[in-house]
């Protein structure tokens, strides 16, 4: 393929590929004007700085600098080469892809990766076929004992590696892929030459990447022997610290549920899947990593840590605290009753017991504090130790300044110290991670328009009821703004604004009180006419924003109806959207009906 035809093919693929669809599979995107925004999948952040422009077909993260087109995203996120990404998108969007001449280096790299994927696929089918053989009777009995039905065995392509040193080695040698099997970690080089099988007498679980390719295996020993679980070593396609067992198969269930159960092992996961609970993943014989949490953040906003109640399970749950805090993802802990794993809990008490545990799960920070209190007690010495460990969690997490402020403020009050002391370990005026003071950092977390609305109502609480009737509670999404609005509602009622301010300051927590006090002190004097005019402008914006959000929700429902093939529902929603008409006050301004992907877009 010459350079001109190659460029034309690449252009066709880029034009055919829907960058919002491709990115939206792994990043939760929110419409923001003409663009979409979300949390960057390539670095840790809590406030979205990752932007996708559907018109120009580009993405850009203003936090870490990653950017490019749809091909760049697929290459970066799925660890693909350029030819692999081009081929994947061409196949997905029906673009014919002529062969192109690659450089020797490109061809060698692509060939090696292709060979590893191919030999992994061959091994998976070989192991799966062997599971029905006479020497796999113990493996089949173990699956039956664990309650894993045949349909799950088939869907997950579980297999059996026989108790042989050269079973797979011999097959690969006969197929001419022995070296590829060695690069894939399936066989191991002998000191005196040749190879031997890595997986022997093991029940085998294939591991997929997010693109659905088999990248490695996890094997459980049948009978006596160590280690109990053996994983593929790190290869050119496999890194257990960056992949999760079950994510590829269960990602749609995770998206639909809005949360993900994180379990300890493969059988924990498969037992839940067999019981119909599919929003679950498991690490691959390694502790949870920040890469794991960042990976899950693209599919859900909440992780439920579902570990055994033994010492190892509790320790693993504790280690997850700085990772989740640092990545800005909500996390809760559902510890299984002592002596139970998901399999035994399901057998003895059914799925209702699992659902009940999940619903009653503790917030991860509260769980951590309670465990530390159990360990150290609440004496002066115990509180000192707790403060030191919580401070260490904060420093390891290095979270968004506002998250640090909220975490520190909440637990400092329970320890009888200041938030500054918890963050820094000293009693000096503290700075949150990033160098900003805690209160200033928290203030910066609110989008401009939201902050203007909230600050106006703080200064002029007499307008609160008008804004509530106009739908401010539906428009404001940020937790800090919602909290301040709730404080205002409780503090309002009868009385002059000064009385409302007194009740507001009395009800606010330390960090909110500092922010509110600074705002009220700095607020300029305004005449009733000026305040009334400002209120009219903000109420007009609020009306337009509420209308826009409701139209966005209708658009989201229309897209879902189109994808599910529910044409009647689609027509019903489209008519409803048409009847809503244009945004109020949009005539002549260019603010027409918008079609965002999700309903909680925000104006910055």
Region 542-567: mean pLDDT is 84
pLDDT for res 133: 95
**Are 133 and 33 a contacting pair, CB within 8 Å?**
no
pLDDT for res 22: 92
- Distance separating alpha carbons of residues 362 and 127, to the nearest angstrom: 40
Burial of 498 (0-12, 13-18, 19+ CB in 10 A): exposed
Kindly tell me if the per-residue pLDDT of 562 is higher than 50.
yes
Region 507-526: mean pLDDT is 67
Residue 335 DSSP one-character state: P
Pairing label, strands 280-281, 260-262: parallel
388-409 per-position pLDDT tens digit: 889 888 888 877 777 788 888 8
- Number of other residues whose CB lies within 10 A of the CB of residue 276: 8
Kindly tell me if the per-residue pLDDT of 25 is higher than 70.
yes
Q: Which two tokens stand for residue 441?
A: 């950092």
Q: Which of 410, 408, 415, 381 is nearest to 394 (CA)?
A: 408
Better pLDDT: 517 or 279:
279
Q: What is the DSSP string of 305-316?
A: E---SSHHHHHH
Kindly tell me if the per-residue pLDDT of 274 is higher than 70.
yes
Q: Which two tokens stand for residue 109?
A: 């790299």
Kindly tell me if the per-residue pLDDT of 101 is higher than 80.
no
Kindly tell me if the per-residue pLDDT of 514 is higher than 80.
no
Better pLDDT: 150 or 484:
150
CA distances, 584 to each of 466, 472, 576, 587, 593 (Å): 18, 16, 16, 8, 10
Kindly tell me if the per-residue pLDDT of 589 is higher than 80.
no
Between vectors from CA 485 to CA 481 and to CA 487, what angle results, nearest 5°? 120
CA distances, 352 to each of 264, 275, 276 (Å): 20, 11, 12
Please give the backbone phi and psi of residue 37, each rounded to the nearest 5 degrees, phi first.
-130, 155
Better pLDDT: 479 or 100:
479
Better pLDDT: 306 or 604:
306
> Under 8 Å CB-to-CB from 31, ≥6 apart: which residues?
552, 594, 595, 596, 597, 598, 601
Q: Which two tokens stand for residue 398?
A: 């290095």
pLDDT for res 260: 95
Domains located in the chain, CATH noted: 3-92 (3.90.580.10), 104-231 (3.90.980.10), 247-368 (3.40.1360.10), 377-443 (no CATH), 446-604 (no CATH)
When pLDDT is cut at 50, 70 and 90, the band that residue 517 belongs to is low
Peptide bond into 227 cis (omega under 30): yes
Q: What is the DSSP string of 530-541?
A: HHHHHHHHHHHH
pLDDT for res 593: 34
pLDDT for res 451: 84
Better pLDDT: 442 or 527:
527
Range of weakest confidence among 53-57, 119-123, 373-377, 511-515: 511-515
Q: What pTM did the predictor assign? A: 0.60
Between vectors from CA 207 to CA 338 and to CA 215, what angle results, nearest 5°? 150
Kindly tell me if the per-residue pLDDT of 453 is higher than 80.
yes
Listed as own residue / partner, the contacts of 570-578 with beta carbons closer than 8 Å and 24 or more positions apart are 577/551
Pairing label, strands 187-189, 195-197: antiparallel
When pLDDT is cut at 50, 70 and 90, the band that residue 581 belongs to is low
Range of weakest confidence among 77-81, 336-340, 594-598: 594-598
pLDDT for res 124: 98
For residues 254, 259, 260, 262, the Cα torsion angle rounded to the nearest 10 degrees is -170
- Number of other residues whose CB lies within 10 A of the CB of residue 466: 15
Q: Which of 226, 236, 225, 161 is nearest to 197 (CA)?
A: 161
Kindly tell me if the per-residue pLDDT of 353 is higher than 80.
yes
Kindly tell me if the per-residue pLDDT of 314 is higher than 70.
yes
pLDDT for res 99: 65
% of the chain residues with pLDDT over 70? 87
pLDDT for res 399: 74
Q: Averaging pLDDT over each range in 57-71, 234-248, 541-555, which range is the top one?
A: 234-248
């Amino acid at each position: 393929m010459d350079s001109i035809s190659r460029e034309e093919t690449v252009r066709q693929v880029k034009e055919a590929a829907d960058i919002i669809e491709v990115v939206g599979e792994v990043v939760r995107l929110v419409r923001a004007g003409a663009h979409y925004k979300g949390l960057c999948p390539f670095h840790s952040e809590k406030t979205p700085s990752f932007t996708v422009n559907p018109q120009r077909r580009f993405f850009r993260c203003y936090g870490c600098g990653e950017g490019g087109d749809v091909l760049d995203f697929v290459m970066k996120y799925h660890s693909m080469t350029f030819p692999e990404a081009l081929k994947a998108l061409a196949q997905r969007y029906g673009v014919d892809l002529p062969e192109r001449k690659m450089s020797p280096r490109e061809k060698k790299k692509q060939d090696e990766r292709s060979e590893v994927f191919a030999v992994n696929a061959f091994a998976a089918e070989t192991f799966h076929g062997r599971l029905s053989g006479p020497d796999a009777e113990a493996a089949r009995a173990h699956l039956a004992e664990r309650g894993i039905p045949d349909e799950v065995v088939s869907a997950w392509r579980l297999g059996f590696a026989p108790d042989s040193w050269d079973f797979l080695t011999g097959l690969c040698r006969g197929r001419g892929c022995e070296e590829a099997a060695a690069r894939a970690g399936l066989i191991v080089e002998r000191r005196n030459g040749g190879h031997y099988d890595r997986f022997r007498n093991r029940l085998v679980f294939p591991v997929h990447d997010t693109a659905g390719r088999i990248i490695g295996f996890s094997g459980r020993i049948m009978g006596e022997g160590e280690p109990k679980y053996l994983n593929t070593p790190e290869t050119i396609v496999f890194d257990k610290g960056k992949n999760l067992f079950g994510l590829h198969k269960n990602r749609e269930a995770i998206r639909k549920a809005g949360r993900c159960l994180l379990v300890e092992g493969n059988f924990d996961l498969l037992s839940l899947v067999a019981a119909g609970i599919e929003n679950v993943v498991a690490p691959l014989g390694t502790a949870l990593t920040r890469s794991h949490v960042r990976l899950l953040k693209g599919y859900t906003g909440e992780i439920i840590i579902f570990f055994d109640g033994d010492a190892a399970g509790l320790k693993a749950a504790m280690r997850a605290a700085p990772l989740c805090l640092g990545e800005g993802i909500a996390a809760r802990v559902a510890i299984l009753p002592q002596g139970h794993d998901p399999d035994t809990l399901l057998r003895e008490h059914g799925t209702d017991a699992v659902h009940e545990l999940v619903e009653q799960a503790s917030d991860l920070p509260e769980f951590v504090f309670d465990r530390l209190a159990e360990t150290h007690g609440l004496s002066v010495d115990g509180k000192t130790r707790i403060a030191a460990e919580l401070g260490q969690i904060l420093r390891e997490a290095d979270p968004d300044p506002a998250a640090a402020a909220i975490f520190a403020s909440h637990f400092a009050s329970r320890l009888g110290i200041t938030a500054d002391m918890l963050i820094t370990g000293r009693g000096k005026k503290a700075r949150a991670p990033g160098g900003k003071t805690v209160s200033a950092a928290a203030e910066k977390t609110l989008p401009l328009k939201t902050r203007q609305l909230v600050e106006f109502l703080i200064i002029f609480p007499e307008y609160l009821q008008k804004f509530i009737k106009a739908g401010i509670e539906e428009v404001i999404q940020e937790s800090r703004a919602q909290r301040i609005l709730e404080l205002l509602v409780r503090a309002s009622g009868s009385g002059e604004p000064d009385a409302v301010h007194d009740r507001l300051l009395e009800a606010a927590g330390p960090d909110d009180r500092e922010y509110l006090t600074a705002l009220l002190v700095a607020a300029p004097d305004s005449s009733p006419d000026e305040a009334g005019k400002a209120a009219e402008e903000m109420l007009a914006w609020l009306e337009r924003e509420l209308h826009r959000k409701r139209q966005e929700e209708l658009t989201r429902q229309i897209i879902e109806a189109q994808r599910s093939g529910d044409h009647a529902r689609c027509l019903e929603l489209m008519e409803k959207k048409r009847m809503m008409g244009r945004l109020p006050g949009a005539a002549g301004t260019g603010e027409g009906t918008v079609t965002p992907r999700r309903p909680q877009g925000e104006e910055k």
